[in-house]
Amino acid sequence: MYKYAYHIVYSAGMIQPVHYDTLIYNVRIASMQANGKPYGALTGSAVAIHNGVIADILDSDSLDAVTAETVTDAQQQWLLPGFIDCHTHLVYGGDRANEFEMRLQGLTYKDIALQGGGIKSTVAKTRAACEEALFKSAVKRANRLAEEGVTTIEVKSGYGLDNDTELRMLRVAKSLESELPVRISTTFLGAHALPAEFADNADAYIDFVCDTVLPNVARNNLADAVDVFCESIGFTNAQTEKVFKAAQQYGLPVKAHVEQLTDSKGAVLAAKYGALSVDHIEYLAESDIPHLAASGSVAVLLPGAFYYLHETQKPPVNTLRQHNVPMAVATDLNPGSSPVASLLTAMNMACVLFALTPEEALRGGTLYAAKALGLSDRGEIKPGKLADLTLWDIESPAELVYTLNGHRPTQVFLGGQHV
């Protein structure tokens, strides 16, 4: 362990020194900037932070002209941007270990969903849970991510499917910021599954989502984006489009779960609405990829769900690459298809299962994860970006993804504050 943070030491030379809040020096920087260099390599070896933001990247020979309140000698450790998990469902009641067992006995995810299990069983347990109980269990899961250097977490609703529980989930998600050193981005996923009250009337449920729940979510500022499960066992393209239109009315960006189990042309529809991201996309047709390139939507890969569901159809990674569609990687942390509270594990899976390079996987959990959330203020080490940073005692950035070693950062900075 390195513990060399001390106070006001950097003395100035003859020149009037520039003063910062924090200086991290003697560091190897994997900036993740898309600068054509491996891991966004930079020549500088020090990062200066002021007012929570990265102020400068400095060379070792310019440090004489700098003072700072807090100075850290990183002793040649690697500095990375804080990780961003851009797709989770980590607020929920109960668990679904029984369904894991059922699947091992041969039932499929779809069989279980059609029998009333799956998302619906989590809905029953989430509705029954009070705000405090939901908060307590969500803190544990979010903390697992935070321990691994995740500083921004996206959290979706979608296990309430009624007005009160959907709002409760989003409030719980947002309040994780008060307990843990993370920033939360919330997504309203009212159109996740059809609740029993609306059995056989999905259109009426979509009207309820658009006309009742979404306006309340928007009025209370509870969501940063709107998501839909557009799928054979989710909602049709027409229903998805209705939700997208309603989201637009409230000025909320959209994203969608698409092509997870079937090629439903959800990605093309999402691209038409300028979606921030299309998520899962195992069954995405290669011929649809130019639509994503044109809309600037991020392709979010969720290898945890692929792994748990024994999926064999892989997302068209090569063609996404050819069309320069940015790829993000996320955990999809949820009790059914991806009980994975480790973004580094998801990145490793993206390499082993989908043949991403470690560099692509790490950009997918930083730079492009930020883009998938529409957050241009983070995800890379660059002047002007939030000083959400992690320090690692590793030989190379690839090591984080190459080995399943339970890596932990030696230090985490959130808005420049050492946490």
Q: Which chain residues interact with ligand DI6 by CB under 6 A? A: 89, 118-119, 122, 192, 229, 257, 260, 305, 332, 334-338
CA torsion 28-32-34-38 (nearest 10°) is 50
- Distance from C-alpha of 201 to C-alpha of 29, rounded to nearest angstrom: 54
Phi and psi angles of residue 67, each rounded to the nearest 5 degrees, phi first? -125, 160
154 binds Fe ion (CB under 5 A): no
Please answer whether residues 255 and 372 qualify as being in contact, where contact means their C-beta atoms are separated by less than 8 angstroms: yes
Please answer whether residues 332 and 361 qualify as being in contact, where contact means their C-beta atoms are separated by less than 8 angstroms: no
Nearer to ligand DI6, 71 or 369 (CB): 369
Q: In what order do the strands lie in the sheet with 83-85?
A: 83-85, 150-156, 183-191, 225-229, 254-258, 277-280, 298-301, 327-329
Cβ of residue 89: shortest distance to Fe ion, in angstroms? 6
Cβ of residue 89: shortest distance to ligand DI6, in angstroms? 6
Nearer to Fe ion, 32 or 302 (CB): 302
Nearer to Fe ion, 277 or 411 (CB): 277
Q: Which residue is nearest to Fe ion (CB)?
A: 332
Nearer to ligand DI6, 50 or 192 (CB): 192
Q: Which does 119 bind (CB under 5 to 8 A by kind): ligand DI6, Fe ion, none?
A: ligand DI6
- Distance from C-alpha of 39 to C-alpha of 358, rounded to nearest angstrom: 9
Cβ of residue 25: shortest distance to Fe ion, in angstroms? 40
Residue type present at position 136: K
Q: Which does 305 bind (CB under 5 to 8 A by kind): ligand DI6, Fe ion, none?
A: ligand DI6
Interaction residues for Fe ion, span 165-224 (CB under 5 A): none
- Distance from C-alpha of 335 to C-alpha of 345, rounded to nearest angstrom: 16
Q: How many residues contact Fe ion, by CB under 5 A?
A: 1
Nearer to Fe ion, 148 or 332 (CB): 332
Nearer to ligand DI6, 37 or 310 (CB): 310
Q: Which does 336 bind (CB under 5 to 8 A by kind): Fe ion, ligand DI6, none?
A: ligand DI6
Cβ of residue 87: shortest distance to ligand DI6, in angstroms? 9
Site string for Fe ion, 277-316 (x = CB under 5 A): ----------------------------------------
Cα–Cα–Cα angle for 330, 105, 119, nearest 5°?
45
Nearer to ligand DI6, 43 or 105 (CB): 105
Please answer whether residues 87 and 302 qualify as being in contact, where contact means their C-beta atoms are separated by less than 8 angstroms: yes
- Distance from C-alpha of 297 to C-alpha of 270, rounded to nearest angstrom: 8
Question: What kind and span of H or E run contains 177?
Answer: helix 163-179
- What is the chain's length? 419
Cβ of residue 267: shortest distance to Fe ion, in angstroms? 15
Q: Which does 342 bind (CB under 5 to 8 A by kind): Fe ion, ligand DI6, none?
A: none
Nearer to ligand DI6, 117 or 379 (CB): 117
Q: Which residue is nearest to ligand DI6 (CB)?
A: 336
Nearer to ligand DI6, 167 or 258 (CB): 258
Cβ of residue 367: shortest distance to ligand DI6, in angstroms? 23
Cβ of residue 330: shortest distance to Fe ion, in angstroms? 8
Cβ of residue 45: shortest distance to Fe ion, in angstroms? 39
Rg, the chain, Cα only: 22
332 binds Fe ion (CB under 5 A): yes
Cβ of residue 85: shortest distance to Fe ion, in angstroms? 12
Nearer to Fe ion, 22 or 187 (CB): 187
- Distance from C-alpha of 302 to C-alpha of 313, rounded to nearest angstrom: 13
CA distances from 127 to 146, 157, 213, 412 (A): 26, 12, 15, 35
Q: Which residues contact 29 (CB under 8 A, 6 or more apart)?
A: 40, 41, 42, 44, 45, 47, 57, 78, 79, 381
- Distance from C-alpha of 67 to C-alpha of 61, rounded to nearest angstrom: 14
Cβ of residue 325: shortest distance to ligand DI6, in angstroms? 20
Contact residues: Fe ion, CB under 5 A: 332
